[in-house]
């Protein structure tokens, strides 16, 4: 029996505001996060990934659990949260207020044992590794481990990155192409084609989706899901705010 395709809504929050970024930089204000969640509830969204773009590595700030609990209280679908998770205790709090998965970036480099602790306590399916990368020339890439640090590598080494995540118990990977974010130029299908048949971890393709045929191509190449933000929140050449989500029937056709 065919599995229902995973089409994930990505919502980015910054200081209790919902925003949309472009190439991880410039942003457009979308509105109040709680109101936006309510609107997407009415559209029967399958799954939401909440991404906090606060610079936790640079700023001495902590996760706003009280606000996140309000978000989880409004949402009618499974939720993932990423941003500023530093410890098992952070994960405990997030799961206790209703989140089903925890997104990890910097911890894979600074303290991967925390990933192992979370996976052992809650299961591998609860840990999602976000890999934010920038395509360069000559098949080189930059993998960003936080907003302030990155290392240069090659596309093929993304697989090594994934294998490392798998060894610590991660159960899913989101590949985010920085230069495609907010550009509506298409998902990075090349990296999906290269990676998906070399790992057992589910791969989610994110950034750049322009239409549902783009998602269909990613699924045909082995992606377990697609994630998008602009495609579901902005419309037209002037990027007017228009919140939308495909019907269950349209997703089934993917």
Q: Which of 32, 46, 64, 132 is catalytic?
A: 132
d(CA 126, CA 120): 10
Q: Which residue has the tokens 């993917």?
A: 254
Q: Phi/psi class of residue 28: alpha, beta or left (left: φ > 0; alpha: ψ in -120 to 50)?
A: beta
- Are 57 and 106 in contact by the 8 Å Cβ rule? The answer is yes
> 72 — phi, psi (to 5°)?
-65, -30
- Are 149 and 143 in contact by the 8 Å Cβ rule? The answer is no
Q: Which residue has the tokens 């706003």?
A: 64
Q: Clarify whether 132 is annotated catalytic.
A: yes
Q: Which residues are identified as catalytic?
A: 132
């Amino acid at each position: 029996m065919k599995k229902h395709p995973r089409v994930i809504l990505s919502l980015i929050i910054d200081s209790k505001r919902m925003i949309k970024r472009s190439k991880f930089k410039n942003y457009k204000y979308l509105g109040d996060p709680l109101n936006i969640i309510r609107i997407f509830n009415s559209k029967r969204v399958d799954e939401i990934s909440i991404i906090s773009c606060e610079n936790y590595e640079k700023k001495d700030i902590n996760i706003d659990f009280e606000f996140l609990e309000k978000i989880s209280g409004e949402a009618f679908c499974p939720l993932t949260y990423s941003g500023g998770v530093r410890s098992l205790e952070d994960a405990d709090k997030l799961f206790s207020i209703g989140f089903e998965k925890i997104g990890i970036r910097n911890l894979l480099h600074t303290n991967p044992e925390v990933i192992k602790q979370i996976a052992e306590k809650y299961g591998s399916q609860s840990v999602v590794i976000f890999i934010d990368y920038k395509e360069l020339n000559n098949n080189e890439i930059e993998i960003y481990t936080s907003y302030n640090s990155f290392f240069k590598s090659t596309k093929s080494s993304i697989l090594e990155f994934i294998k490392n995540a798998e060894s610590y118990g991660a159960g899913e990977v989101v590949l985010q192409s920085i230069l495609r974010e907010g550009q509506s130029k298409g998902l990075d299908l090349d990296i999906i084609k290269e990676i998906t048949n070399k790992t057992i971890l589910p791969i989610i393709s994110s950034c750049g989706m322009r239409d549902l045929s783009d998602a269909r191509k990613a699924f045909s190449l082995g992606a377990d899901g697609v994630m998008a933000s602009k495609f579901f929140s902005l419309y037209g050449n002037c990027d007017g705010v228009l919140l939308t989500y495909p019907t269950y029937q349209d997703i089934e056709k993917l």
